[in-house]
Structure 1
Amino acid sequence: MASEYTTSEYIKHHLTNASMCSTDNGIAFNAQCADAGFWTWHIDTLGWSIGLGLLFLFLFRSAAKKATTGVPTKWQAFVEMVIEFVDDNVKSTFHGKSDLIAPLALTIFVWVLLMNLMDLVPVDVIPMISGLIGETFFGVDAHHVYNKAVPTTDLNLTFALALGVFVLIIFYSIKIKGVGGFIKELTMQPFNHPAFIPVNFILETVTLLARPLSLALRLFGNLYASELIFILIATIGYFQLPLHFAWAVFHILVLPLQAFIFMMLTIVYLSLASEDH
């Protein structure tokens, strides 16, 4: 597929999301959405992320329904290992009391991991299939069909995940400390004197906002760079296989690590929000 484009066109095509927007003339797609403004939907990101989320629910629910107290199946044993791994990290890190944190941590870890693992799919497979479907059934030139299969390479998705965590940080801060306690935390730390309230507020607000920002940018930056390198390797042509294999083996470790870091930082931030000073 790389031979059909120049190198820059090939890279741009693989890094472009399938977009949908609403215009004065109705629903528009991709290049027609350039001037559509803020409300442009990345339908490939939405499709893959929702689909992988449903896959996670289906797989874990099926394991729960078929679970036995006797000798477990391999899949049941694997699911139990994942749950125990997440539960141990929650118990050692989260110091408050909440029935939400462990299921939330499990969901974040497995969902982000599944989205990250899409990075191991050869970069030409899904765009090629999408192009063939577009040409065959919709009469669309394959060059104008886009499909980014790694949702975590889309900054919109990583920010959406981080904003969800940020809302929970605010919720637990107010729930545990009360509105007054939360305001006092923002205005009376680190310098516990009324004269330093403006300075404290600026410092604490920057710290508070840096948490979701760092969550979103860390995950996006690592996965975007990884996908870009896979795409660059694919431009080499017939000599790409050894490099592709080596980079993929390396990412068998990196992709779970990024999901683990996102989960652990979420637990840490919610634990800090749940502390009653």
Structure 2
Amino acid sequence: MASYDTTQEYINHHLTNAKMCTADGGIAFNKACADAGFWTLHVDTIGSSVLIGVCFLYFFWRIGKKATIGVPSKTQAFVEMIVEFVDDNVKSSFNGTSRLIAPLALTIFVWVLLMNLTDLIPVDLFPWIAGLIGQYAFGMDPKDVYLKIVPTTDINTTFALAIGVFILIIFYSLRVKGIKGFAKELTMQPLNHWVFIPFNLVIEIVTLLARPLSLSLRLFGNLYASELIFILIATIGYLQLPLHFAWAVFHILVLPLQAFIFMMLTIVYLSLACEEH
């Protein structure tokens, strides 16, 4: 593993994404992307989140293909428990009728949970592997090779998920209420008089935009803080193993909770979008 001059340098390295951008007519990476502007790709976030999503879909597809109506295997029983758990929450929280909501809720819960669980991987493992590859395959200084393996510690991931939910909120609002009904909801609530339309519009737009914002920031904040604590523990020395184990055990409870909250808020927001006030 690369040696670092200060603890601050170590922490900054582990909290920096592997970046790719276009600069001077070509493709640039990492430090060369500092002034690249908006269009910078976090390739580690994209790669790990897509890989986790593909593995999740393949695993559930394989279990679905092998499913039997007789005595299920332990793996099938485990998957059925997850599906029933999500389905029960959708039935109890979603008041509309849509065949999309249950599969969407299942996808959100399992995908976010799996992305969160990568936080339990030792913080030095993948940066060390990436540093070795960069050093011996490309002649790079390991300090210039970055890799963050936890997608939900990147605010771009949580915002992308929240924006997808926001688009569905708008879609269902227009589908159920129509353009006229949706516009009336934004302008005639909470005070049902035309004089208060400007006030109502400000309140409702802020409320509408706060939903994806709160979704993304809550998940990002919890996972980023957790990853930062793991990194700080890694700087302690001989005490890092018992402290890492203790924090990981506690975190096993937190990671599913964050995925559950994201799923439940998504269901509630879409249920509200399908209700005619």
TM tier relative to shorter chain: over 0.9
Distance 1:13 1:107 in 2: 32
Alignment match, 1:252: 252
Alignment match, 1:61: 61
Distance 2:238 2:179 in 1: 62
CA offset at residue 4 of structure 1? 3.5
What amino acid maps onto 2:232 in structure 1?
L
Alignment match, 2:188: 188
Distance 2:67 2:130 in 1: 38
Which contiguous aligned blocks of 4+ residues in structure 1 show a shift greater than 4 angstroms?
none
What amino acid maps onto 1:53 in structure 2?
G
What amino acid maps onto 2:4 in structure 1?
E
Distance 2:245 2:102 in 1: 35
Alignment match, 1:93: 93
Task: Structure 1: state its 5+ residue gaps.
Answer: none
RMSD: 0.9
Contact kept in structure 1, 2:90 and 2:267, CA below 8 Å: yes
Contact kept in structure 2, 1:2 and 1:10, CA below 8 Å: no
Alignment match, 1:159: 159
Give the secondary-structure state (helix, strand or coil) at the position aligned to 1:260: helix
CA offset at residue 2 of structure 1? 7.7
Alignment match, 2:228: 228
Alignment match, 2:12: 12
CA offset at residue 137 of structure 1? 1.6
For normalisation by structure 1, the TM-score amounts to 0.98
Change (3 A) 1:155 1:275: same
Give the secondary-structure state (helix, strand or coil) at the position aligned to 2:57: helix
Identity percentage of aligned residues: 74
Contact kept in structure 1, 2:116 and 2:255, CA below 8 Å: yes
CA offset at residue 3 of structure 1? 5.1
Give the secondary-structure state (helix, strand or coil) at the position aligned to 2:41: strand
Contact kept in structure 2, 1:2 and 1:237, CA below 8 Å: no
Deviations 1:69-91 (A, max 9, x none): 11111110100000000000000
The answer as to 2:139 corresponding to 1:168 is no
Larger CA deviation: 28-37 vs 136-145: 136-145
The answer as to 2:44 corresponding to 1:28 is no
Give the secondary-structure state (helix, strand or coil) at the position aligned to 1:72: coil
Deviations 1:222-265 (A, max 9, x none): 00000000000000012111111110000000000000000000
For this pair of structures, how many residues does the alignment match? 277
For normalisation by structure 2, the TM-score amounts to 0.98
